[in-house]
């Protein structure tokens, strides 16, 4: 079995990313979202998992804000994330998330938001409790936040403003 490596997306990757994301979600919508996020230059970071030259997973981070009146607090949206069905449940998703969060921390980001499986993301430190004071159109248990800098969410409230590509 070959080792999975995580690296930043490269110029030749978009076609393989589209294929694996479409296979993981069983539809093209999330792959379209990725292209739209790149087109509006909202992408902060995009990482792929690669095994013997084949892409097996992908995660994307985009700029978003928490808005409270005139105050706009920058945050990062983790979405979408996908692991090819043939490679799921082998830790690839976990490697992608941890790599991405380390990169964001090193690059000065302090808040990450995810809409996802309530049983999956808490293992990385995300919690719906941390996102309690943030208004979103999503069901509470699936809407989670993570502080990359301790205390970053203290006193933060307001409404989420995602990149336009999310069409929210």
Q: Candidates 7-15, 99-107, 112-120, 154-162 — which segment interacts with ligand COA by CB under 6 A?
A: 112-120
Q: Candidates 103-111, 115-123, 144-152, 154-162 — which segment interacts with ligand COA by CB under 6 A?
A: 115-123
| 100 near ligand COA (CB under 6 A) | no
Residue among 33, 93, 143, 165 that touches ligand COA (CB under 6 A): 93
Decide if 100 contacts 93 (C-beta within 8 A). no
What does the per-residue mask of binding to ligand COA show for 20-49, with x meaning CB under 6 A?
Answer: ----xx------------------------
Q: How far is the CB of 135 from ligand COA (least distance, A)?
A: 20
> Cβ atoms within 10 A of the Cβ of 166, count?
17
**Distance spanning both ends of the chain, measured CA to CA:** 41
Q: What is the SS3 assignment for 10?
A: coil
Q: Candidates 36-44, 113-121, 132-140, 157-165 — which segment interacts with ligand COA by CB under 6 A?
A: 113-121
Which are the contacts of 148, defined by CB distance < 8 A and separation ≥ 6? 101, 104, 105, 109, 110, 111, 112
If the CB atoms of residues 39 and 86 are measured against ligand COA, the closer one turns out to be 86
Q: What is the SS3 assignment for 156?
A: coil
84 vs 58: CA distance, rounded Å: 9
């Amino acid at each position: 079995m070959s080792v999975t490596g995580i690296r930043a997306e490269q110029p030749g990757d978009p076609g393989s990313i589209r294929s694996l994301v479409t296979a993981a979600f069983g539809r093209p919508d999330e792959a379209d979202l990725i292209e739209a996020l790149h087109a509006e230059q909202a992408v902060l970071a995009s990482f792929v998992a690669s095994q013997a030259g084949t892409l097996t997973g992908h995660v994307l981070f985009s700029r978003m804000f928490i808005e409270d009146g005139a105050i706009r607090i920058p945050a990062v949206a983790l979405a979408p994330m996908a692991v090819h069905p043939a490679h799921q449940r082998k830790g690839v998703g976990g490697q992608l998330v941890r790599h991405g969060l380390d990169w964001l921390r090193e690059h000065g980001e302090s808040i990450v938001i995810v809409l996802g499986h309530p049983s999956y993301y808490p293992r990385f430190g995300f919690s719906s409790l941390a996102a309690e004071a943030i208004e979103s159109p999503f069901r509470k248990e699936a809407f989670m936040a993570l502080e990359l800098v301790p205390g970053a969410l203290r006193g933060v409230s307001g409404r989420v403003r995602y990149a336009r590509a999310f069409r929210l």
